[in-house]
Amino acid sequence: MPLETPARIVSELTSRGYNADREAVTLLAGADDPDAALDAAVERASDDVLKLSSDHVEAVLAEFERADDTPTSSGNESGNESVTETGSPEETKGVPRSEENGRNRDTDGDVGESVTDVSRPDESVRDPDFDARSLEIDGDVTGESTGTGEYEDFVSVFRDRFKRLSKQLRSRVNARPTSAVRKMPGGGDTAIVGMVSDIRSTASGHWLIELEDTSGTYPCLVMKDREFADAVDELLHDEVIAVEGTLSDDNDDGDGILFVDSLYFPDVPRTYKPSTADRHVQAALISDVHVGSQEFMADAWSRFADWLHTEEAEHVEYLLVAGDMVEGVGVYPNQDEELDIVDIYDQYEQFSEYLKEVPGDLEILMIPGNHDAVRLAEPQPGFDEELRDIMSVHDARISGNPSTVTVEGVDILMYHGVSLDEVIAELPDEKASYDDPHKAMYQLLKKRHVAPQFGGKTRLAPEEKDYLVMDSVPDVFHTGHVHKLGWGKYHNVLAVNSGCWQEQTAFQKSVNIDPDAGFAPILDLDTLDMTVRQFS
Ligand code: D5M
Ligand code: FE
Ligand code: ZN
């Protein structure tokens, strides 16, 4: 196989036990005969060297050039064509996605940029400023799990959720506990903060919402003609909201009701001001690689990896992967018929090979998804030691699902996204749909919880605390899972669902999922603008 592309160079080098710095890879990729250059570079490396430097490769290539000048040199037919003279060895699209698809209507991001031809990597590759980098992880359940799966654990996780979300709401309303509300005289005004335990429509088309707090429950009526009745469509069981209203006249008889005048979600303040990085630096936000599936798009992945080696990607210094690294086994019915690799460890080995294709100087962070080999219930801890070992390439960092990663001052909430299926199933199309996955993410931001509804598809692992609450507002919210690309801003928070690297599976076809595969959203950390590049 010809070795023109940086990704192939890297994978060939690693198969021989070597790494190389980015410039060295680019030089090898640009050589007249990359195979011979690679052979020579490896042969001439001293025994104790594991990483080939650009100086070493330059020296090897200089020898080649000298040999080329002699009439006896065999050389290949393209003679001494230079990197810049030759065209792209393999067409790499790297095209920013335009606005045509209408998915990014509400983005402030950098879209519709003219088509750029990413051809062969430029010689002048970047030189990252490692000292300027910073990446800190918060909210990681890995190693902290206390849950034993007992009933008490469910009680504590819900108490914690209620305590933390009600705190966010209490500053906005003057709420009383439901037990105190029951004793109030009829006709008075009050407010309640509670977890939604039931939503019913009445015979006359109004809405009866039962709210639960630590002292009991209370029924609240939203009249269908109220301007906020629309908000009832957005309610999910188990989320925490606040209502203000007037008590029915018979309240102190014991079967009163609250007529709701206002309804509040914990929400993100409209005036939220996200933080940005102090220098021009970018992060690639991806997810759902699904290595091991017959539909994994190896070519698109390699084009992405190659692009990362180009000058155009010189500011991309972070790679964040939001779960589903591999296809896994036994995840859905008849999945084994579409597996390319049947052993889950072999799938991670192969994933690791693909990861080697991206530049070694990238800071990488990965969290698991529902196809990964960790517990399915959320919060999911990061990969165990054995899997970490397999994926240790480029010193990638690993954290639980969800996690908040602060990259050069920008808080990025990473969550795989299983609850999005539920939000999309429960809410009307205009509020959340597979075509606009970011709108489903807006709902999670509004509820300040990554998986509000318990008991459906989203499995919850009971812990002492609820890792799924958003205590602070993230600057960027990054999810995957639904295999659809979509992004936009909600109260200045950028929500990005990053698509996938797996073509439509037979199973997805049967359930009408049409994936957006082979795209890489690239985030400017200094402006929070986004560009999406297509590699499929
Ligand atoms: O999920 C990819 C998408 O496919 C996501 O939106 C869920 C959907 N999916 C996955 N399994 C099922 C089943 N069993 N029924 C319905 N929809 C499903 P991924 O996690 O990559 O498989
Ligand atoms: Fe997935
Ligand atoms: Zn998934």
Q: What digits encode the pLDDT tens for the residues 21-53?
A: 777 888 888 888 888 888 888 888 876 666 788
Please give the average per-residue pLDDT across 367-386, as a whole number.
Answer: 96
Nearest CA to ligand 1 atom 6: 482
User: Are 282 and 288 within 8 A, CB to CB?
Assistant: no
pLDDT attached to residue 47: 66
Q: What digits encode the pLDDT tens for the residues 81-140?
A: 322 222 333 333 444 443 333 344 344 444 333 333 444 343 437 689 899 999 999 999
Q: Which two tokens stand for residue 531?
A: 């560009």
pLDDT attached to residue 88: 30
Question: Ligand 3: distance of its center to the CA of 375 in Å?
Answer: 13
Q: How confident is the model at residue 150 (pLDDT cuts 50, 70, 90)?
A: confident
Q: What digits encode the pLDDT tens for the residues 241-257?
A: 999 999 999 888 878 99
What are the C-alpha distances in Å from 31 to residues 24, 66, 111? 11, 14, 35
Higher-confidence residue of 15 and 429: namely 429
Q: Which two tokens stand for residue 392?
A: 């240790």
Q: How confident is the model at residue 169 (pLDDT cuts 50, 70, 90)?
A: very high
Q: How confident is the model at residue 55 (pLDDT cuts 50, 70, 90)?
A: confident
249: number of Cβ within 10 Å: 11
Cα–Cα dist 351/502, whole Å: 13
Quick check: 74 pLDDT over 60?
no
Q: Which atom of ligand 1 is the closest one to the Cα of 324?
A: 21
Packing angle between helix 34-43 and helix 22-29, nearest 10 degrees? 140
Please give the average per-residue pLDDT across 11-15, as a whole number.
Answer: 74
pLDDT attached to residue 120: 38
Question: Ligand 2: distance of its center to the CA of 321 in Å?
Answer: 11
When the candidates are 1.10.730.10, 2.40.480.10, 2.40.50.140, 2.80.10.50, the CATH number that belongs to 172-264 is 2.40.50.140
Q: Which atom of ligand 1 is the closest one to the Cα of 500?
A: 21
Question: Ligand 3: distance of its center to the CA of 153 in Å?
Answer: 26
**Residue 434 buriedness (CB in 10 A; 0-12 / 13-18 / 19+):** buried
Cα–Cα dist 305/33, whole Å: 21
Please give the average per-residue pLDDT across 3-8, as a whole number.
Answer: 68
Nearest CA to ligand 1 atom 13: 332
Higher-confidence residue of 508 and 473: namely 473
Q: What digits encode the pLDDT tens for the residues 208-239?
A: 999 999 999 999 999 999 998 999 999 999 99
Of 91-105, 183-197, 317-331, least confident by mean pLDDT is 91-105
The pocket of ion ligand 3, defined by CB under 5 A, consists of 324, 369-370, 481
Domain ranges, ordered by start, for the chain: 134-147+271-534, 172-264
Q: Which two tokens stand for residue 312?
A: 């155009």
Question: Ligand 3: distance of its center to the CA of 314 in Å?
Answer: 30
Ligand 1 pocket test target in 483, 504, 514 with most atoms within 8 Å of CB: 483
Question: Ligand 3: distance of its center to the CA of 497 in Å?
Answer: 12
Nearest CA to ligand 1 atom 11: 332
Nearest CA to ligand 1 atom 5: 482
Residues with CB under 6 A from ligand 1: 288, 324, 332, 370-371, 421, 481-483, 508, 511, 513
List b or e across 453-464, with b for residues whose CB sees 16 or more CB atoms inside 10 angstroms. Answer: bbeeebebbbbe
Q: Which two tokens stand for residue 525?
A: 């950390």
Quick check: 77 pLDDT over 80?
no
134-147+271-534 maps to which CATH number? 3.60.21.50
pLDDT attached to residue 93: 41
Question: Ligand 1: distance of its center to the CA of 325 in Å?
Answer: 15
Higher-confidence residue of 252 and 72: namely 252
**Ligand nearest to the Cα of 380, by number:** 3
Consecutive H or E run containing 137: strand 135-138
Q: What digits encode the pLDDT tens for the residues 469-493?
A: 999 999 999 999 999 999 999 999 9
User: Are 50 and 21 within 8 A, CB to CB?
Assistant: no
335: number of Cβ within 10 Å: 17
Q: Using the 8-state DSSP alphabet, how is residue 382 labeled?
A: P
Please give the average per-residue pLDDT across 175-182, as a whole number.
Answer: 96
Partners of 243 in beta bridges = 192, 263
Please give the average per-residue pLDDT across 177-195, as a whole number.
Answer: 96
Higher-confidence residue of 51 and 274: namely 274
Question: Ligand 1: distance of its center to the CA of 295 in Å?
Answer: 15
Please give the average per-residue pLDDT across 356-360, as a whole number.
Answer: 95
**Ligand nearest to the Cα of 368, by number:** 3
pLDDT attached to residue 109: 42
pLDDT attached to residue 114: 31
Higher-confidence residue of 14 and 439: namely 439
Q: CA triplet 435, 439, 440: central angle to 5 degrees?
A: 90
Share of the chain above pLDDT 70, in %: 87
When the pLDDT of each residue in the chain is averaged and rounded to a whole number, the result is: 87
Quick check: 507 pLDDT over 60?
yes
pLDDT attached to residue 69: 56
The pocket of ion ligand 2, defined by CB under 5 A, consists of 288, 324
Nearest CA to ligand 1 atom 16: 511
Nearest CA to ligand 1 atom 3: 482
Quick check: 416 pLDDT over 80?
yes
Share of the chain above pLDDT 90, in %: 66
Q: How confident is the model at residue 4 (pLDDT cuts 50, 70, 90)?
A: low
Question: Ligand 2: distance of its center to the CA of 185 in Å?
Answer: 53
Question: Ligand 3: distance of its center to the CA of 170 in Å?
Answer: 35
382: number of Cβ within 10 Å: 23
pLDDT attached to residue 48: 64
Q: With CA atoms as reference, report the closest residue to 373 among 333, 325, 310.
A: 325
3-state secondary structure labels for all residues of 139-152: CCCCCCCCCCCCHH
Question: Ligand 1: distance of its center to the CA of 348 in Å?
Answer: 20
Quick check: 418 pLDDT over 70?
yes
Higher-confidence residue of 386 and 45: namely 386
Please give the average per-residue pLDDT across 279-287, as a whole number.
Answer: 98
Nearest CA to ligand 1 atom 8: 482
Please give the average per-residue pLDDT across 181-190, as a whole number.
Answer: 95
Consecutive H or E run containing 22: helix 22-29
User: Are 209 and 199 within 8 A, CB to CB?
Assistant: yes
Partners of 282 in beta bridges = 316, 524
Higher-confidence residue of 57 and 187: namely 187
Residues in the chain: 536
Consecutive H or E run containing 59: helix 54-69
Which residues have a Cβ under 8 Å from the Cβ of 91 and sit 6 or more positions away?
none
Q: With CA atoms as reference, report the closest residue to 316 among 294, 345, 285, 271.
A: 285
Question: What sign results for the dihedral spanned by CA atoms 371, 376, 380, 383?
Answer: negative
Q: Which atom of ligand 1 is the closest one to the Cα of 290?
A: 21
